[in-house]
Chain A
Amino acid sequence: NAGVTQTPKFQVLKTGQSMTLQCAQDMNHNSMYWYRQDPGMGLRLIYYSASEGTTDKGEVPNGYNVSRLNKREFSLRLESAAPSQTSVYFCASIRTGSNEQFFGPGTRLTVL
């Protein structure tokens, strides 16, 4: 049972490049989330998926798209990266019937 996994762990992009951050959970959770955390700040929700086949915007969705590929996987895409998107990105999932969120180890993204 690996919990929540994220790839890659680190990434450097140039302005305008695109990339997809991958997240998977093996706990059979229905809801999954993408957060970003800027240095010295709390977490801010980008997008979430309450269940397979549904996605909704969070607090800071601009510049991102998501795909809930199946129950296990929830990916985050940056179509045209900007320096303002330099951050640490965390994926999380929620155990059904609970609000206990399980977080992945994070992806550290730098956009030059």
Chain B
Amino acid sequence: DAKTTQPTSMDCAEGRAANLPCNHSTISGNEYVYWYRQIHSQGPQYIIHGLKNNETNEMASLIITEDRKSSTLILPHATLRDTAVYYCIAFPSNNAGNMLTFGGGTRLMVKP
């Protein structure tokens, strides 16, 4: 699985967009980009994933660069409840027992 690199921490003002970057320069053609988040003391929560096209759901948008070497998770209107650690993972499309590897993630602090 491709290694991902994320900033250790970020701040965002409540109500503003939070843009969380992720580098995955060694990503291979069959690997998707997945984003999870972990709110304090809870189990991680799936947010969104994509291969090469931009994706949007009720929680967030995912922008993947054309060369697929980096991506950005966008929370359009951050709230205090979005304070969490956000994990970016590059992972192949099949799930035949493959392991998700969670790195350190980005600790997002949303401030009033």
Interface residues of chain A, those whose CB is within 8 Å of chain B, are 4, 31, 33, 35, 41-45, 48-51, 54, 56, 58-59, 88, 90, 92, 94, 96-106
Contacts and interface: CB of A to CB of B under 8 A. Distances in A.
B44 A103 contact: yes
B91 to A, nearest CB: 5
23 contacts: A31-B95, A31-B97, A33-B99, A33-B100, A42-B103, A45-B99, A48-B97, A50-B97, A58-B99, A92-B43, A97-B95, A98-B95, A99-B91, A99-B95, A99-B98, A100-B34, A100-B49, A103-B43, A103-B44, A103-B45, A104-B43, A105-B42, A106-B43
A82 B101 CA distance: 24
Contacts of B15: none
B87 to A, nearest CB: 7
Interface residues of B, number: 24
